[in-house]
Structure 1
């Protein structure tokens, strides 16, 4: 098994060396691909040093050397990759020694196109911890509640399984066959500056046969610090709702072009509609909400059903 590890780099001069070296510890990692995204700090210099120090580290920038976001950077990394398997790592996170233990076994089955695992959390700064606990407050372990594979993963991510599937798994804990991405023409939505990872994971779970690996202990660690973009987003604010609206609209547009379960398609539409309603103001919001409830009362059962009532 030969793996390309793709690391988008933005404003991560303090952390990227640890991320790279955590990936190089594995014999299966054929290359570590750094995509430097016009960082305002000295990350580019650090990346150049790493590429000179390690033969397996390859450094790229966007053709215009501009800033294009994590989704575009990961797409460029996939394009530049040469291995049969793709793994992702954020520049401020790192792999643990058990990162590919499950993959070594599960990918012997040619039906398995992707394996996902659990990741843990480490607070790198006090301010990062404060922001995280007040705005996000996830569990230490990002994982799922039970082993799953195939379409059950897709339904679980949308909250449509009889048992609660769990939190979410992240890109740091996902390994996928490059052929599965190519066959299904799957790329990150470059129009999404946040949530492009969740967007791809849900689409991947529908098109590909994913299987859970190690879900009871972390295989990677996410670093929480002052500059984490996600910790700056406070739930149910207009900014938060706008980003959620863009995310669900991306899934909705995709669902219209693909043959997916009707209940899943309806769920995606209702989530999109709920966040669209959250962005309305004044009497127009009440009128639109009433019309939406009359049309389909299930909108009141969406995961974010209270977002449009909190402003």
Structure 2
């Protein structure tokens, strides 16, 4: 395997070298693509020192040297990456020594276009730990609950499998054939400043044949600290609902132009509608009704819904 590791860099000077070193340990990693996104700390200087350290490390910035977000930075990384396989790594996280063990075997099967695994957690600050655990309880592993491949992955991510599939697998634990991304014209939605990873993974699970790798133990570690954006938003707050609405609108617009299974279209539509209604009315009562409708679609019988599903 020849792998390009894409690392978007924004205000991660404190963590970046550890992330890069964790990728350099693998002979399969032929290049590490750093995309510096106009950090306000000294991340750019750290990047410039790292590219001298190893010829596999390459540094890029956006054409205007501006800040464009993680989605745009990953897209630039995809444009610059030269290897057959693509992996991602957040600048404040790191790979473990078993990161590509499953991939080396699974990708021998030609139909497999992507492999995903589990990531663990390292608490870097006490405040970060408190915020993370208040939102996600005491979750030690971000993973799925059972091995899956093909359409089961898509349905699992949308909560449509008989057994709960689990959380979204993290980009840190995903490896994908670049040819599959090119063939399906897949990239990150740059209009989403958050949740662009969830959007990308859902679309990827439909267009590409994914298979689970190591899901019972971590292959990478997420660093949890004071500045993790994922822990800052209170669930069902106006800001949370706005960000969820943008995610599900992106998925709804996409699903409207692709022949997804009917139950997948229904789930995406109902979730999108619930957040849309919540924002328009500001009434959690109606939002909760639609959340219940997502679990039990038969209770929702609006003409608009059936018009959409039958077209």
CA distance 1:261–1:172, change in 2 (3 Å): same
CA contact (8 A) 2:275 2:287 kept: no
In structure 1, stretches of 5+ residues that fail to align are 303-311
Q: Does 1:269 align with 2:264?
A: no
- Give the secondary-structure state (helix, strand or coil) at the position aligned to 1:133: helix
Question: Which residue of structure 1 aligns with residue 166 of structure 2?
Answer: 166
Partners of 1:190 and 1:264 in 2: how far apart? 24
Question: Which residue of structure 1 aligns with residue 104 of structure 2?
Answer: 104
Partners of 1:231 and 1:50 in 2: how far apart? 30
Question: Which residue of structure 2 aligns with residue 24 of structure 1?
Answer: 24
User: Deviation digits for residues 163-205 of structure 1, max 9, x if unmatched?
Assistant: 1111221100000000000000000000000000010001000
User: Deviation digits for residues 259-308 of structure 1, max 9, x if unmatched?
Assistant: 1101110110000011111113468x87x779x97xx9834648xxxxxx
User: Deviation digits for residues 205-231 of structure 1, max 9, x if unmatched?
Assistant: 011100000000000000000111111
Q: CA deviation at 1:52?
A: 1.1
Question: Which residue of structure 1 aligns with residue 191 of structure 2?
Answer: 191
CA distance 1:206–1:138, change in 2 (3 Å): farther
Question: Which residue of structure 1 aligns with residue 308 of structure 2?
Answer: none
- Give the secondary-structure state (helix, strand or coil) at the position aligned to 2:204: helix
Normalization by structure 1: what TM-score? 0.92
Pairwise mapping of residues 1-311 of structure 1 onto structure 2 (< 5 A)?
1-137=1-137, 139-281=139-281, 298-299=293-294, 301=296
- Give the secondary-structure state (helix, strand or coil) at the position aligned to 1:257: coil
Q: CA deviation at 1:137?
A: 3.1
CA distance 1:200–1:85, change in 2 (3 Å): same
User: Deviation digits for residues 48-91 of structure 1, max 9, x if unmatched?
Assistant: 10011111000000000000000000000000000000000000
CA distance 1:243–1:138, change in 2 (3 Å): farther
Partners of 2:160 and 2:282 in 1: how far apart? 33
Normalization by structure 2: what TM-score? 0.92
- Give the secondary-structure state (helix, strand or coil) at the position aligned to 1:145: coil
Between 121-130 and 72-81, report the one with greater CA deviation: 121-130
- Give the secondary-structure state (helix, strand or coil) at the position aligned to 2:90: coil
CA contact (8 A) 2:133 2:139 kept: no
CA contact (8 A) 1:129 1:224 kept: yes
CA contact (8 A) 2:33 2:60 kept: yes
